[in-house]
Every structure is written in C-alpha cells, then in structure tokens.
Amino acid sequence: MISTSLSYISSLLIICSLIVLLSSKSKSKLFEYFPAIVIIYFVIVLLSAMGFWDSKSSEIIQTRSQLQDLILPVMLFLMLIRCDIRVVIKLGRKLLIAFFGATVSIIIAFVIMYLTVGKYISPDAWKGFSALSASWMGGTGNMVAVKQALGTPDNQMGYILLTDSISYSIWFAFLFALISRANIFDKWTKAGCIEEHISKVDINNPYDVKGDINFVGIFVLIAMAFTATDIAKILSSYLPATDLISAKTWIILLVTLFGFVGAMTPIAKIRSDSIIASIFLYFLVALIASGSSFKGFSQAPIYIVCGLMVLVIHAILMVIIAKIFRLNLAMCSIASLANIGGIAGAPILASAYTRSLVSIAVVMALLGFLIGTQGGLIVAKILSGFAV
C-alpha cells in the first residue's frame, strides 16, 4: 500500500502514461468509445477501491488537495491561450447565432431535465449536472474547473465522465448520420448554400502555428501560467465570497480572464501549449479519481438517461433555432458538436461536410473552452435554486 507523496504522484503518472501510450498504439474499438481520460479515471478508482493507496494517509490527502488547487488554474490558463476573441468575431452573424444558440439550448435542456428528473436523484445532483453542462459547453477541462469550484463530490465524477462519454458517442454518430439529409433540412429552413456563408468567413485554424516546439517557448508558457495562478490567488483573497462563489471559484474566473487576455498577446503564438495543458488535465483527473470509490455507482444508469434527455431537448431547440434564423444543418451540427464534443469532434464532423469548415469548427470549439466554465456556473446557479 502506497502511503508517501512521492510514490503516490509517481504511481499516478505511470498509470496515466501507460494508458495514454496504449490508447495511441492500440487499434481496439474500446478507445473509440471510451477515451483514454475516461479509462484513466475508472482504472484509478478501481485501484483506489482495492487499497493501492492509503486513502487515510494525511500526507496523501494533503498532497492531493494541494496539487488539485495548483494544477487546475495552470491548466485552464494554458487551455485558453488559443481563444483569441478577435478571431471569434470573424465567424459572422449566422455562425455565432448557431454556436450561442447551441449553448443556450444546452442550458435550457439541463434546466428542463433537472426539473423533471434530475432533482429527485440526490440533494447534490445539481453539482454533478452543472459540471457536465460545463463539459457540454466547453470541454473536460471546464468540467473539472466547475467540479472543483462547486466542491462536487468525487464519486459524482464517475457518473459525469461515463454519461459524457456514452452520450457523446451516440450524439456524434447521430450527427454524422444526418449529413445525408443536409439538403432536405436546408431547403426546409430556407438557409441557402453553405458554401456562400463559408466564402464570407476568412479565418485560419488557430492551431496552425508555424515553428517547432521549443524549450524556450515551453518555459515561458509554464512561467506565465504559474504567475497568472499566483496573481489570481492573491486577488481572490480581496474578493467577496458567497455560497456559490468561493475563493476557488474566483481563482478560476480570474485565470480564465488572464487566459482570455493572454490569447491576444504574442505568447499565444508559442507552440505546445495544448500538449502541456493536456498533461495537466489527465493528471488532474487521476488525482480526483484516486480520492473516489465505486460506492453508489448503481445510480450511473439514471445519469446516462438524464444526459440523453438533455441531448433530445437540445436537438429540438436547435431545430427551432435553425428554422427561425434560417441556419444550415452543417452550421447547427458543427456548433452543437463544438459545444458538446469540443476540439476532438467538431473538426472531424466539419471535414465530412467540407474541408473549408474545419477552421470554423476549431474556432467554435475554442470559444467553447472560453465560455464553458462560466456557462457551467450559470447552470449551477439556476439548478441550485431548484434543488430539493
């Protein structure tokens, strides 16, 4: 049984790296439906339940808490450094309507789901659903940020990740199946030709940054991320705390602001930020998993049903929005997947329509990273008001 900090950290890193390595080399269908980050969570929860780590060790508990508080804001800053609002504005009116329409419809869908089913699951179920909503408006990093900000129980993280993975896989396949119906849908909404709208949008893929990954760039990015975290922590002590907005929440919001500003500076052109952020994200999920257990996992099916219910409501609302604003199916589908699937899924769906939509999908996904945390906190504010 591991009971020291160094052994605890090294064991988590080894497990994460082995699963990531396996997912990159394996041709198994398993990794298509369950990403490495989900498998990391459940493998570490299983090891934790088997007593691989001494869960009562004060040294490990303190190490886990301190690392979570430090890594989360650093990761957020690095994730947001690509979100240049000046590029987002270039998307144009219809594409922005499609994206924010998808975002608002997801918020409404979570509220309807919670009022009809979710609030009867458990008194603190709203925290888990708020974290899931952050993922479906941004990405896993936003999910973890809201989870930490709200103090969502670690056990709920399992429900959230499982629901996220299964629901996303179904939604991804559904949106791909709709591609063949694009012409029929576009005629019904009177949207016009998608190529006409694309020709008016002149943006480049934010990830197409010239230059090699280099030592100096990585050093500067890490230094900036830790400095931003330190400044946010200092400022948070001067800001008022409420039941919903704690000092941790202020740190997350401030770091988001710093990342937003940093995206408009030359440091946004440094390569490798997404690589560093991904490493921190995987390790952060591993830390959370090591403090969890399989206790209460019998509730997982109802969470999955709730997730699918959200997607059905979201789909209905998106059809209404498309009809009102005369949006193409491609616009709606990519905007939806940019919210729910993020950078991993939206560009793939976009390329299935036309390659010229890929850069638009990437920008939409990055916009999701920018607003996902705040969106999740808005959902938390609404759902907490209806909590039983």
CA atoms in the 13 A half-sphere facing the CB of 117: 15
Q: Residue 204: what pLDDT?
A: 59
Instruction: Give the torsion sign (CA, 47, 53, 54, 59).
Output: negative
Specify the amino acid at residue 282. Answer: Y
pLDDT in tens, 26-37: 877 777 777 788
CA atoms in the 13 A half-sphere facing the CB of 6: 0
Q: Are 300 and 164 in contact (CB under 8 A)?
A: no
- Could you tell me which residues come within 8 angstroms of residue 168 by beta carbon, excluding any fewer than 6 positions away? 340, 341, 345
Q: Are 211 and 205 in contact (CB under 8 A)?
A: no
Q: Is 109 helix (H, G, I), strand (E, B) or coil?
A: helix
Q: Residue 229: what pLDDT?
A: 93
pLDDT in tens, 61-98: 889 888 988 988 898 888 878 777 777 777 778 889 99
Q: Are 76 and 145 in contact (CB under 8 A)?
A: yes
CA distances 92 to 202, 298, 364, Å, are 10, 46, 12
Specify the amino acid at residue 165. Answer: S
List 53's β-bridge partners, or say none.
2
Q: Residue 31: what pLDDT?
A: 76
Domain boundaries, the chain: 64-147+163-273+296-386
- Pairwise CA distance, residues 10 & 16, whole Å: 10
Specify the amino acid at residue 254. Answer: L
Q: Residue 89: what pLDDT?
A: 73
Instruction: Give the torsion sign (CA, 270, 206, 341, 93).
Output: positive
List 2's β-bridge partners, or say none.
53
Tens of pLDDT along the chain (388 residues)? 788 889 999 999 999 999 999 988 887 777 777 778 888 888 888 888 888 888 778 888 889 888 988 988 898 888 878 777 777 777 778 889 999 999 999 999 999 999 998 888 888 889 999 999 999 998 888 898 899 888 888 778 888 888 888 888 889 889 988 888 888 998 999 887 777 666 666 565 555 555 566 788 888 889 999 999 999 999 988 888 776 677 888 888 898 889 888 888 887 777 665 788 888 888 988 888 887 666 656 677 898 999 999 999 999 999 999 999 999 999 999 999 999 987 777 888 888 887 778 778 888 888 888 889 999 999 999 998 887 6
For the chain, what's the residue count? 388
Q: Are 101 and 321 in contact (CB under 8 A)?
A: yes
Please tell me the pTM assigned to this model: 0.79
Q: Is 53 helix (H, G, I), strand (E, B) or coil?
A: strand
- Pairwise CA distance, residues 69 & 225, whole Å: 13
Buried b (16+ CB within 10 A) or exposed e, 336-365: bbbbbbbbebbbebbeebeeebbbbbbbbb
Q: Residue 188: what pLDDT?
A: 92
